[in-house]
Amino acid sequence: MKDVYILGIESSCDETSCSIVKNGVEELATVISSQIDIHKNYGGVVPEIASREHVKNITIVIEECLEQANMTMDQIDAIAVTYGPGLIGSLLIGLEAAKTLSFIYDKPLVPVHHIAGHIYANNLIKPLTFPLLALVISGGHTELVYMKDHLYFEKLGGTLDDAVGECYDKVARVVGIPYPGGPSIDKLAALGKHEYKLPIPLNDDSYNFSFSGLKSAVINLAHNEEQRGNKINKENLATSFQDVVVEIISKKTEKAIVEKDIKNFVMAGGVAANRALRAKLEEVCKQHNIDYTFPAIRYCTDNAAMIAAAGYYYYKQGRISDKKVNAKSNDKLN
């Protein structure tokens, strides 16, 4: 069978990225230009600045990627691009670049859902097998997704308010850690002990999550300690918070594994880099004797390799678009 080379483009938030992936499984080259250092100064991603940075970087990352893979556009079979969800101004830059390449080189254009991309980051480690449960945990999402086959997505549940990554970033801000605080809270949590009592949010039988109450509880706790003249112990706060997150996420994930008779479990999104969550969910998978894959740490956060990997399956299924496709800041995974 002829090999299929997909060029992927991702620009939904604050990373401009291009990647070339062979047959949906083999990464040939990936270039990521991150804007974190710029947005750090503002405590979060500033959409207007993000769009401008994407404009500056998009052609550079595409050229660099082709150079690293030692390939030309003639050798590419299709162009996969994130069309949504994400920041509209950011998405448009990647999408317009993909449309232009598709037009000039007469290549099929394959619009990819950003969350499908996160899930398919695992395909670069080990090909997905089904029935599969994906735990999607990022700065914008917290979802349990059931897949009976490639690109068949059924959302079992998700957050009713804040995403878990967003909650990590807010808790980090409370203890004076700059954006994005998730990785630092993860590191601090490994050093502390469970000193502070925090509520386990939405501890019910559903597959839904809620993190805004937990976020408020941390903010109130820090505020009360300050008013009493007590210094908050950062490590212990991080441990107390992370223990609650791990407990509720692993409880609901385990329930889905059992009830849906899952054979394969994958994690996806920025928070999938979290060491405590990885350790706990690995334990759960081993206990239930199911296969599991975690994405490479560098591909937990946004990148184009995951878009190119997912794009291969979209392409195989003929999900090719005309040049009229528009960016969508919000769109259901289907």
186 binds Zn ion (CB under 5 A): no
Closest to Zn ion by CB, 27 or 302: 302
Beta-carbon neighbour count of residue 52 at 10 Å?
Answer: 16
Please report how close the Cβ of residue 271 comes to ligand KG4 at its closest, in angstroms.
Answer: 4
d(Cα 184, Cα 316) in Å, to the nearest integer?
A: 40
Closest to ligand KG4 by CB, 66 or 177: 177
Beta strand 264-268 pairing with 291-293? parallel
186 binds ligand KG4 (CB under 6 A): yes
Residue from 94, 302, 315, 333 binding ligand KG4 (CB under 6 A): 302
Window contacting Zn ion (CB under 5 A); options: 138-146, 158-166, 212-220, 288-296: 138-146
133 binds ligand KG4 (CB under 6 A): no
Window contacting ligand KG4 (CB under 6 A); options: 101-109, 132-140, 146-154, 233-241: 132-140
d(Cα 68, Cα 306) in Å, to the nearest integer?
A: 17
| For residue 131, cis peptide bond before it (omega within 30 degrees of 0) | yes
Closest to ligand KG4 by CB, 181 or 192: 181
- Answer for the pair 116, 310: CB distance below 8 angstroms, yes or no: yes
84 binds ligand KG4 (CB under 6 A): no
For residue 15, list its beta bridge partners: 34
Contacts of 269 (CB under 8 A, 6+ apart): 115, 118, 136, 137, 138, 139, 141, 165, 300
302 binds Zn ion (CB under 5 A): yes
Binding mask 189-218 for ligand KG4 (x = CB under 6 A): ------------------------------
Residue from 13, 175, 222, 256 binding ligand KG4 (CB under 6 A): 13
Beta-carbon neighbour count of residue 258 at 10 Å?
Answer: 12
Residue 271 binding result from ligand KG4, Zn ion, none, given CB thresholds of 5 to 8 Å by partner type: ligand KG4
d(Cα 31, Cα 303) in Å, to the nearest integer?
A: 8
120 binds ligand KG4 (CB under 6 A): no
d(Cα 268, Cα 261) in Å, to the nearest integer?
A: 20
d(Cα 128, Cα 145) in Å, to the nearest integer?
A: 14
264 binds ligand KG4 (CB under 6 A): no
Q: Rule CB under 6 A: which of 159-178 touch ligand KG4? A: 165, 168-169
d(Cα 159, Cα 211) in Å, to the nearest integer?
A: 7
Give the pair of three-digit tokens for residue 25: 């499984």
10 binds ligand KG4 (CB under 6 A): no
Residue 168 binding result from Zn ion, ligand KG4, none, given CB thresholds of 5 to 8 Å by partner type: ligand KG4
Separation of CA 23 from chain center: 22
For residue 20, list its beta bridge partners: 7, 29
Residue from 111, 139, 295, 311 binding ligand KG4 (CB under 6 A): 139
For residue 33, list its beta bridge partners: 16
Applying CB under 5 A, which residues contact Zn ion?
Answer: 138, 302
Applying CB under 6 A, which residues contact ligand KG4?
Answer: 13, 138-140, 165, 168-169, 180-183, 186, 269-271, 273-274, 301-302
